Amino acid sequence: MEFEKVIVNGEKKAQCVHCNRHYSAKGKNGTSHLKYHIELRCTRKYSTQVDLRQKLLSINRKQNSTSQLENHVFSQEVSRKELANMVILHEYPLSIVDHIGFRRFINSLNPSFKITSRNTLKNDIMKMFGSEKASLKKLFDDHVGRVAITSDMWTASNQKKRIHAEKVSSVVLDNCSTNDAMIDVLQEKFDPDSLLLDATPSRVQKFEDKARASKIDCSRKLQLDCKTRWNSTYLMLVSAMPYRNVFGNLKTQNPRLKFSVPTPRDWELAEIICNKLKRFHKITELFSGRKYPTANLFFRQVCEIKMALKKWKRK
């Protein structure tokens, strides 16, 4: 018997025999809410049956494929930390702690574990972040060498990035505009004498000088191809087309530079490809829309691309 009938303020109530909480005992309400309380909400039912100080035997499976029986003591704090680690590792939503199926699963593993609220879970994660941040800062402070950074940036307004410039050897980024802006900010933080490779700025300067000497507007930066961005090939070719003569002149001046100079035929093919990819580039921009519906805009263009690909294949 998990509940007993009692009268509270003249109304029939079902009182939990473990924690004394009251629930409606009207027939029209059914018994699902009572079962839910016993299985997931009651904080006294299992705590009165299990002595948390009592050591239990658990199997410790080691990396060398051996197993060993050891004494195990349940710890609410350890389990809370592992819950936060799980959410961080797999990017689960904080609301997972409110999911009925998840709560039942946890209860079947260890009824003694009290599932935290999503706010408590958030606080646990932020505490872990602060601790890891402090540890990483200490590691950089004590480290005598340098590190290479691979990073990506979103356009969130509350992002902040702090880097010990004297510890950095290189920074690798995706070629989106947000990262370009971030690099411009970082360059102001670096001491030029501390960089391992100081040739890149000078090469860029020589390239721009050649462009100006040929009366070419060098305000448009060169872009590299990126496998994860559909229209990056088009952007790379478009950014390189105005500098077609600069590449050859730069290679002639310094033969040690490691790049192949495109032939006139190569530039002709690049121009043809750009014309074919221009439409595709506009469609990818429609895909990236965030403040308006996109399906009604790009569907027709996608069909046009499919027809064009079939036409090119027949040629």
288 or 99: which leads in pLDDT: 99
- The rounded percent of the chain whose pLDDT value lies above 90 is 13
pLDDT exceeds cutoff 60 at 45: yes
Work out whether strand 11-16 and strand 22-24 pair parallel, antiparallel, or are unpaired: antiparallel
CA angle (282 as vertex; 276, 287 as ends), nearest 5: 130
Q: Please give the model's pTM, rounded to 2 decimal places.
A: 0.39
Give the range among 3-7, 122-126, 233-237, 281-285 with minimum mean pLDDT. 281-285
**Residue 6, CB half-sphere, CA atoms under 13 Å: how many?**
12
Q: Would you state the pLDDT for residue 158?
A: 47
Amino acid of residue 126: M
Mean predicted confidence (pLDDT) in 48-59? 50
85 band by pLDDT with thresholds 50, 70 and 90: very high
Q: Which amino acid is at 164?
A: H
CA 18/CA 312 separation, integer angstroms:
75
- What is the DSSP annotation of 205-259? HHHHHHHHHTT----SPP----TT-TTHHHHHHHHHGGGHHHHHHHHHH-TTS--
H/E stretch holding 303: helix 295-314
